[in-house]
Amino acid sequence: MILSTRARVLLVAVPSLLCGACATSDGTSGIHAAAGKPPNELPAAFENRADGPSLWPSKEWYAAFGSDELNSLIDRAEKNNLDLIAAQARVRQADARARAAGAALLPQVDIGGTIAHVRGRSGGESARETDWSALVSASYEVDFWGRNRATANSARSLAVAGKADRDTVALTTLTGVAKTYFQVASLHERLDIAQFNLESVQETLRAIQARYDAGATTAVELATQKAAVASAALAIPQLQQQEIEARAALALLVGRPPEDFTLTGIQLDAIAEPAIGAGLPSELLRRRPDILAAEANLKAAHADLVAARAALFPVLTLTGSGGLQNPAVQAAVITLGGSGSSLTLGASLVQSIFDGGRRRAQRDEAIAKEQELLAVYRAAILSALLDVEVALGAVRHLDLQRDAQVDNLIQSRRAFDGARLRYREGATDYLTLYESQRILQIARDQFSQYKLARLQAIVDVCKALGGGWQSTAESSLP
């Protein structure tokens, strides 16, 4: 038997169509091939890790700083931060969308009743009729190609991504509270230092004034020291303004207005420095909510691609209804009068023939979207590795500065005390006293900022390592 050209095409196309449809029946299968895997260049260990055991931060990482006030602020931020409240609302929206998408996998059942009174007159005769019905109807789309299941899988993945986004907001908020609290504490200490510096230069000014009155020094030295006093006084309001701004930012993070927002017991030296380490880089993939969010978005994009491919195939819908109605059967040719039971069954098969390329364009868009989110997922992993290396490197180099910072402060104080004593005795000139005074002021402020940098670097390490967060979602990407 010789087949026509059209018949040969159908024999080839139909099996291919069915195989392609079966390949799209699952919204998550095939993601390894379609979506790829995490970068193979994951390092075996972090380059700037500290020697010693690998200690991932706990979920209560902030408690290790030993500040009850910080713990209280963290608790208030978890309850009242407006960004967190908004993120939680977005999670509920995503959960609702996931439930709505999953409902498409089940039949839709409705119940309804109608009543209509018909009255007419023709050829001198009149008639009237009251029609009514009470029916239960059901419809079900046979998800043969997996479109509805893929759509439901996409919505569930987006719900997972929404929860991970919320956890990312929470991690960013809580670490922001800790870093801002430490900044306020540092500004308090720097204000004390600035006040001490002012008192110190004022004391020196009195000594120079006495020497000037006795004719033992010049007007230039007196004016120079007065300028030093004015400079020290100017530093105080600047630091006070910075403290107001930092305290207002902290109030915003904990969800309250800045007015009457006060802090008590802030002492930078009283804050402990917890020991934080890092485990294996591969473990980081389960400890960063932003990585999970990127992965879940990628899974959703893959499911959207499955749904877009399935939309190219026919849609089979089954319908049925049953109940009581009057007349029992309504038809154009035969009408069965009187009240009685009614049952209607039907099926429809719809295949798009021409839509101007809309469905294929949507499929191509879904392919490009998956490729985009694959790049975003890989970028999230590399960004997480970068965050950890930078944070660990900052702590490491601050550790290397510790001895030099302490020695700088000790020696600067010793040099100033000696220069002031020798100047009073007339054994050294004013320039030496002035320079040692300036160096001590810088050293004091620098050491306070160094202590702040250490605490904030430790917070950055906790944030980069996920803040004790761990993924509980099932992942399809190793």
8 Å CB contact between 98 and 156? yes
Tokens of 293: 């969010």
Residue 315 pLDDT level (bands cut at 50, 70, 90): confident
The domains found in the chain, sorted by start residue, are 23-106+144-312+360-464 (1.20.1600.10)
- Prediction pTM value: 0.81
Q: Per-residue pLDDT averaged across 149-163, rounded? A: 92
Report the C-alpha gap between 392 and 49 in whole angstroms. Answer: 6
8 Å CB contact between 453 and 398? yes
What's the pLDDT at 31? 46
Residue 78 pLDDT level (bands cut at 50, 70, 90): very high
Report the C-alpha gap between 245 and 191 in whole angstroms. Answer: 14
What's the pLDDT at 207? 84
Q: Per-residue pLDDT averaged across 218-244, rounded? A: 92
**Residue 227 confidence (pLDDT) above 60:** yes
Q: What is the DSSP string of 195-245?
A: HHHHHHHHHHHHHHHHHHHTTSS-HHHHHHHHHHHHHHHHHHHHHHHHHHH
Residue 226 pLDDT level (bands cut at 50, 70, 90): very high
Residue 44: name the closest of 291, 300, 279, 329 by CA: 279
CA dist list (Å): 176 to 62, 162, 167, 364, 409: 11, 21, 14, 41, 29
Q: What is the pLDDT of residues 395-424, one digit of tens each?
A: 999 999 999 999 999 999 999 889 888 888
Q: What is the pLDDT of residues 269-309, one digit of tens each?
A: 888 888 877 778 888 888 999 999 999 999 999 999 998 99
Report the C-alpha gap between 229 and 240 in whole angstroms. Answer: 18
Q: CB under 8 Å to 419, separation ≥6 — which residues?
A: 428, 432, 433, 436, 437
8 Å CB contact between 71 and 62? yes
Report the C-alpha gap between 365 and 77 in whole angstroms. Answer: 40
DSSP 3-state of 52? coil
**DSSP designation for 111:** E
- Ramachandran quadrant class, 39 (left: phi over 0; alpha: psi -120 to 50; beta: rest): beta
**DSSP designation for 270:** G
Report percent pLDDT > 90 for the chain. 43
Q: What is the pLDDT of residues 31-44, one digit of tens each?
A: 444 444 555 567 88
What's the pLDDT at 330? 61
8 Å CB contact between 281 and 385? yes
Report the C-alpha gap between 31 and 298 in whole angstroms. Answer: 9
- If 0-12 CB within 10 Å is exposed, 13-18 middle and 19+ buried, where does residue 109 land? exposed
Report the C-alpha gap between 114 and 223 in whole angstroms. Answer: 101
What's the pLDDT at 180? 94
8 Å CB contact between 463 and 175? yes
